[in-house]
Amino acid sequence: MIYKLEKDKIIVTDKSQFNPKHILECGQVFRFGTDEQGNYFVISKDFKATIIEKENCYEIVSNNPEYFVKYFDLDTDYNLIKEKLKRNKVLSPMVDYGYGIRILKADSHEMIFSFIISQNNNIKRIQKIIDKLCTIGKVSDNYNCFPTIAELSDASLEFYQSLGAGYRDKFLKATADALKDVDLEEIKKLSTDEIYDFLIKLTGVGPKVASCILLFGFGKKDKFPVDTWIEQVYYNHFSSEKRSRPEIQRYFENEFKENSGLAQQYLFYFERENGK
DNA sequence: TTCCAGGCTATGT
DNA sequence: ACATAGCATGGA
């Protein structure tokens, strides 16, 4: 057990496998930042958490501690997984570099819209577009909740065009319409392959975006999304042999199996922080 | 100015 | 099934 759950906060007692900078800046979610005191905060769905560093622990202060225990995957021991992954000698130093990364259990429809926006885009602009999208979400405290599917499908094409999302605006509108009468809780009961087939039919969702949604929004930790950064880290550190993105994905998923998603995050974080 | 960013759709072969 | 042009926007 790496945490204690209290009424209004969580105490994370193992700093070796929980680091807010690593967790939030490795690109799995986009609604985060630092406050005036330099504390990281994150907004997910309807809830907000602020992470305060103490000498021997982190305190996660939030309006829903139970939600954030699941969100930060605190019942999983990442040190065991890290030992397994470090058997790969190329990955090993990258695990040490991003030692505090955890795979977040984010909201599924929030991930669908977030990663449609992410395609062929940069993280700074993705964050700005998502912030604007959230202005139609209800206000809680001093922040906007992520919009519900009803709010998203009620929004006009003109609204989506006002986000500065470029050509992705019509993808967002089409997906909002497609999800209007879908219960994602029912989709979650399907197999991974069946969920993938459902996701990839959505306009603006291809193999990479679907893999990200499965990994972060549906808890499918055996998925290894391949984007430009992963392509780069593959050629820089693993092989110079030319492979397509689906081939690179299969290569890594076969190498890292049920922990592919976490391995992918170490690689992505390392390359983004250290690559040019 | 040109290139690139957590790629996808549409349209060829 | 695989290859590639075009795509909106903004920052380096």
Q: What is the domain range of residue A30?
A: 3-75
Q: How far is the CA of A128 from the C1' of C8 (A)?
A: 15
A187 found inside a domain: yes
Q: Which pLDDT value is given to residue A276?
A: 63
- Is A114 near strand B, with its CB below 7 A from some atom of it? no
- Edge-to-edge strands, sheet with A47-53: A3-5, A9-12, A58-62, A47-53, A40-44, A32-34
Q: Which residues pair with A41 in a beta bridge?
A: A33, A50
Are residues A212 and A248 located together in one domain of the fold?
Answer: no
Are residues A120 and A201 located together in one domain of the fold?
Answer: yes
CA distance A163 to A195: 28
Q: Which nucleotide is closest to A119, CA to C1'? A: B7
Are residues A136 and A201 located together in one domain of the fold?
Answer: yes
Closest-CA residue to A266 (of A252, A251, A245, A248): A252
- Is A124 near strand C, with its CB below 7 A from some atom of it? yes
Are residues A159 and A244 located together in one domain of the fold?
Answer: no
Are residues A241 and A148 located together in one domain of the fold?
Answer: no
Q: Which pLDDT value is given to residue A275?
A: 80
Q: Which pLDDT value is given to residue A20?
A: 98
CA distance A49 to A64: 8
- For residue A215, give both structure tokens: 């990994």
Are residues A69 and A124 located together in one domain of the fold?
Answer: no
Q: How far is the CA of A238 from the C1' of C5 (A)?
A: 30
A44 found inside a domain: yes
A63 found inside a domain: yes
- Is A275 near strand B, with its CB below 7 A from some atom of it? no
- For residue A167, give both structure tokens: 């050509």
CA distance A27 to A43: 14
Domain stop point among A75, A95, A126: A75
- Is A265 near strand B, with its CB below 7 A from some atom of it? yes
Contacts of A40 (CB under 8 A, 6+ apart): A20, A21, A24, A32, A33, A34, A50, A51
Amino acid residing at A182: V
Are residues A117 and A180 located together in one domain of the fold?
Answer: yes
pLDDT tens series, chain A, 276 aa: 999 999 999 999 999 999 999 999 999 999 999 999 999 999 999 999 999 999 999 999 999 999 999 999 999 999 999 999 999 999 999 999 999 999 999 999 999 999 999 999 999 999 999 999 999 999 999 999 999 999 999 999 999 999 999 999 999 999 999 999 999 999 999 999 999 999 999 999 999 999 999 999 999 999 999 999 999 999 999 998 899 999 999 999 999 999 999 999 999 999 999 986
Q: How far is the CA of A121 from the C1' of B4 (A)?
A: 9
- Is A227 near strand B, with its CB below 7 A from some atom of it? yes
A100 found inside a domain: no
Closest-CA residue to A104 (of A225, A220, A200): A220
Q: How far is the CA of A76 from the C1' of B9 (A)?
A: 39
A102 found inside a domain: no
Q: Whole-model pTM?
A: 0.98
- Is A93 near strand B, with its CB below 7 A from some atom of it? no
Are residues A203 and A152 located together in one domain of the fold?
Answer: yes
Nucleotides of B under 7 A from a protein CB: 4-9
Domain stop point among A32, A50, A75: A75
Are residues A116 and A212 located together in one domain of the fold?
Answer: yes
Are residues A120 and A186 located together in one domain of the fold?
Answer: yes
Q: How far is the CA of A234 from the C1' of C10 (A)?
A: 27
CA distance A234 to A240: 8
Q: How far is the CA of A135 from the C1' of C1 (A)?
A: 43
Give first-to-last CA distance, chain A, whole Å. Answer: 38
CATH code: domain of residue A126: 1.10.340.30
Q: Which nucleotide is closest to A122, CA to C1'? A: B5
CATH code: domain of residue A243: 1.10.1670.10
CATH code: domain of residue A29: 3.30.310.260
Q: Which pLDDT value is given to residue A271?
A: 96
A16: Cα separation from own chain's centroid: 20
Q: What domain count does chain A have?
A: 3
Q: How far is the CA of A212 from the C1' of B2 (A)?
A: 30
Nucleotides of C under 7 A from a protein CB: 2-3, 7-11
- Is A122 near strand B, with its CB below 7 A from some atom of it? yes
A23 found inside a domain: yes
Look up tokens 């974080």; give the residue: A269
Q: Using DSSP bridges, classify how beta strands A40-44 and A47-53 pair: parallel, antiparallel or unpaired.
A: antiparallel
Are residues A112 and A213 located together in one domain of the fold?
Answer: yes
Are residues A259 and A213 located together in one domain of the fold?
Answer: no
